[in-house]
Amino acid sequence: MLCLASKGKRFVNRITIFGMLLLFGIGSTARAQDDRAVLQGLMFESPEKLAAAAVSGGDAARGAVVFFTPTMSCANCHSVNDSAERSQANVGPNLASPNQDLSNAGIVDAILHPSKSIAKGFETVQVLTVDGKVLTGVLVDQSDESVQLRDPSTGKTVEVSADDIEDVATSELSVMPEGVAGQIGSRQAFLDLVRYLIEIREGGPARASELQPKVMPTAEPLPEYESHIDHAGILASLDRQAMKRGEAIYNRTCVNCHGTVDAPGSLPTSLRFASGKFKNGFDPHSMYQTITKGFGLMLPQRNLVPQQKYDVIHYIRHAYLKEHNPTQFARVDEDYLASLPKGDTRGPEPSLIEAWREMDYGPNLMATVEIGDDAKNFAYKGHAIRLDQGRGGITRGEHRVVYEHDTMRVAAAWLGDEFIDYNGINFNGVHRRHPRIVGDVVFENANGPGWANPDNDSFDEVREPGRDGRFYGPLPSDWIDYQGTYVNGMETILHYRVGGMDVHERPTLEQLGEKAIFQRSLSVDANEHRLTMRVADREEGEVFLDADHPKAVWSSSEDGSEALVFAVTGDVSQLEWQFAGDQIRLTLMPNANARDFTVHAVRCESKADAEQTIGELVEGIDPAARSAKEWAASMSENAKRWPEIVTTKITTADDGGPFAVDTIQYPVNNPWFCRMRLTGVDFLDDGESAVLSDWDGNVWKVTGLHQPEVTWQRIASGLFQPLRIK
């Protein structure tokens, strides 16, 4: 964060920090889910790979169509000609200007991560006036006498006298919202857009003119039902229940950009409903059109059905406009309802909003989960980890693994849009149920040790069974001893000991053409005795097959219609594959030196496909640049996982009695949709701060307990239902 300070008397050197969140729709339609899948896929690939694909397979002419599509808003913010006049909103650089510092990969990165590097001169600045108003725009000029901002919506310059300014700060966030790539529609369209931007960067305005579509694209057609919505009927039926539904939608979809009465949102140019003026009409029908079609930098909210749109409009009008901004509150009476377009439908039924599905738990979550429905595989101390890249945490990914800490086995690896079914008291409130994973299981290891007993190389249980015959609790610590987890960004490293020897394990995902490869990269200390790890269990009807390669094995269905390949790369000189009953195992023979190796698992369509894949796996996968142990060491030195700060107020009670009670508001509205079910608190020695835990696995640091406002910072996530903290 850079704070703009002037020699002028009214500039105060304070910093305001805003958080940004990629918005995921509530009650998503199929199209919204497709958009999310496109974005996740792009996030998974490196900028260099996408840039190379754009050069080789992108079409600049098609990319120009994407650029000028109204719902993308690219042309609203960026000019591509040599005119002295800048783009309508004047918030983005001219993309046809020569820029040797911006590589092809840099163009990709700028689209996917717009706030990562903001072009100089296009930073978003916020001015707080002495009467409490907040003005947002691109800084044009700053002097001792005034600050000039360019309004992103109108392109007009606004000048504010220094005498009227309380504070000026610049945001680390770009006015370009993250997630815009998800609106493009497909990976190919994204590559086309990147190719277009590369060509106009190199060819300048002349090339941009050549590529400009002869017929400018129009907005995507609205659903058919939008042409005959019964607007009056929906408006007339809005009640207290609609108010509650609207509040839930606002707090999950709108608040991150538009903010609350007390705090601005994360997108600096978004309208603050409690104080701002609407630019596209403030009556309910006009607000409906803005939500449906978009306006300015706001994209259409395709994830909301008509009832949900009017629910959130109802909430905005009564929670924000009526009380705090009455000049923008339009009266709805019989004459107004009669003036609305006539219709005979209310559109599709809204989908259910489920807070436990919307929450961003982080890239990993510790919880008890069940695999399958035969009661043979429970991860009691489960640790689910998302492997593919992207925002939204473990609930938004498509490739996951779940470890079991008591036994240190990979209980399952699976793929699919869903995470779990959320049947559990801590999720949807269902009692006496364990959540089950949802999706297509690639491989699994049922209940039992993940490593053989180092004393005798046996997988026989030594734990006492429960009354149900199952084994609970950890294995003896001289057998398996879980040490902890390192997490930073999307990377997760597990640290445990087998027979006293340190093991660091990093689960990852690699692409081999269209195939997804589940990987376990391990760093294992020198071992005096042989160590054997379980890799996977054979499914009923499968047969084990030796590969014609010492580094790989595979199993296949009896009819050969499907196969599962396992391969090992890295330091493999003293590793041996084993088939034992229903299990595939990998034995580490005694070794005087530490070793690093990776176990790969990939599903194939046939025996022939498996045989080809084995060669590609063993010969085509580059060794990891850093071992799992080196990854762990680098993580311990990394910066904060969540730099975002959320501010809430303290209400001080009358101190006339024997006790003074301060009520600290917790951040109901936060960038991760955390449910804030607080469970424990411990105060730090400075007397100004405390650390709190919540039921959903988070730890928060709260600072400023003696101030009118406190700041909340998320410092940990994914824990197993922490009920206290010390």
pLDDT in tens, 267-277: 667 888 999 88
Instruction: Give the CATH number of the domain where residue 525 resides.
Output: 2.70.98
Domain end point (choices 581, 600, 635): 635
CA end-to-end span of the chain:
32
- 685 & 602 share domain: no
Residue with tokens 């990852």: 508
Instruction: Give the CATH number of the domain where residue 318 resides.
Output: 1.10.760.10
Q: For residue 717, is pLDDT > 80? A: yes
Q: Is 492 helix (H, G, I), strand (E, B) or coil?
A: strand
Domain end point (choices 603, 635, 667): 635
Express each pLDDT in 98-120 by its tens digit.
Answer: 776 789 999 998 888 887 888 87
Alpha carbon distance 219, 553 (integer Å): 52
- 303 & 261 share domain: yes
* Nearest partner of 314 among 409, 419, 242, 217, judged by Cα: 242
Percent of all residues in the chain with a pLDDT value above 70, rounded to a whole number? 84
Asked if residue 22 is part of any domain, the answer here is: no
φ, ψ for residue 325, nearest 5 deg? -140, 60
Both structure tokens of 277: 């003026």
Q: For residue 718, is pLDDT > 90? A: yes
- 602 & 481 share domain: yes
Residue type, 133: K
Lowest mean pLDDT among 30-39, 128-137, 314-323, 473-482: 30-39
Amino acid 33: pLDDT: 41
List, in sequence order, every beta strand (DSSP E) within 8-164: 124-129, 134-142, 146-150, 157-161
Percent of all residues in the chain with a pLDDT value above 90, rounded to a whole number? 41
Q: Decide if 234 contacts 346 (C-beta within 8 A).
A: yes
- Using only C-alpha atoms, the chain has a radius of gyration, in whole angstroms, of 28
- 367 & 229 share domain: no
- 378 & 517 share domain: yes
* Average pLDDT rounded to a whole number, residues 356-361: 91
Q: What is the mean pLDDT of the chain?
A: 83
pLDDT tier at 181, thresholds 50, 70, 90: confident
* Nearest partner of 213 among 89, 57, 67, 107, judged by Cα: 67
Asked if residue 693 is part of any domain, the answer here is: yes
- 328 & 260 share domain: yes
Q: What is the largest CA-CA distance in the chain?
A: 87
Amino acid 10: pLDDT: 27
Residue with tokens 């260099």: 48
Residue 666 has what DSSP assignment? P
- 296 & 266 share domain: yes
Asked if residue 8 is part of any domain, the answer here is: no
Express each pLDDT in 197-210 by its tens digit.
Answer: 999 998 888 898 88
List, in sequence order, every beta strand (DSSP E) within 621-677: 646-652, 662-664
Asked if residue 726 is part of any domain, the answer here is: no
Residue 546 has what DSSP assignment? E
Amino acid 24: pLDDT: 24
pTM here is 0.58
- 555 & 518 share domain: yes
Asked if residue 21 is part of any domain, the answer here is: no
CA atoms within 13 A on the CB side of 614: 21
Asked if residue 115 is part of any domain, the answer here is: yes
- 575 & 704 share domain: no
CB neighbour class for 243 (10 Å; exposed up to 12, middle 13-18, buried from 19): middle
Asked if residue 547 is part of any domain, the answer here is: yes
Domain end point (choices 182, 211, 240): 211
Alpha carbon distance 542, 566 (integer Å): 14
Asked if residue 247 is part of any domain, the answer here is: yes
* Nearest partner of 63 among 198, 204, 182, judged by Cα: 198
Express each pLDDT in 411-445 by its tens digit.
Answer: 999 999 999 999 888 887 776 788 999 999 999 99
Q: Decide if 445 contacts 409 (C-beta within 8 A).
A: yes
Q: Where are the alpha helices (DSSP H) in 182-295?
A: 187-211, 231-237, 240-249, 255-258, 284-293
- 252 & 387 share domain: no
Total domain count for the chain? 4
CA atoms within 13 A on the CB side of 223: 18
Both structure tokens of 286: 């006009």
List, in sequence order, every beta strand (DSSP E) within 291-379: 364-366, 369-370, 378-379
Amino acid 25: pLDDT: 28
Q: For residue 339, is pLDDT > 80? A: yes
The whole domain housing 679 covers: 646-716
CB neighbour class for 685 (10 Å; exposed up to 12, middle 13-18, buried from 19): exposed
- 287 & 404 share domain: no
Q: For residue 90, is pLDDT > 60? A: no
Alpha carbon distance 112, 175 (integer Å): 13
Alpha carbon distance 211, 46 (integer Å): 27
Instruction: Give the CATH number of the domain where residue 135 resides.
Output: 2.30.30.100
pLDDT tier at 523, thresholds 50, 70, 90: very high
Residue 70 has what DSSP assignment? G
Q: Is 409 helix (H, G, I), strand (E, B) or coil?
A: strand
* Average pLDDT rounded to a whole number, residues 493-509: 95
Amino acid 531: pLDDT: 95
Alpha carbon distance 433, 420 (integer Å): 12
- 531 & 574 share domain: yes
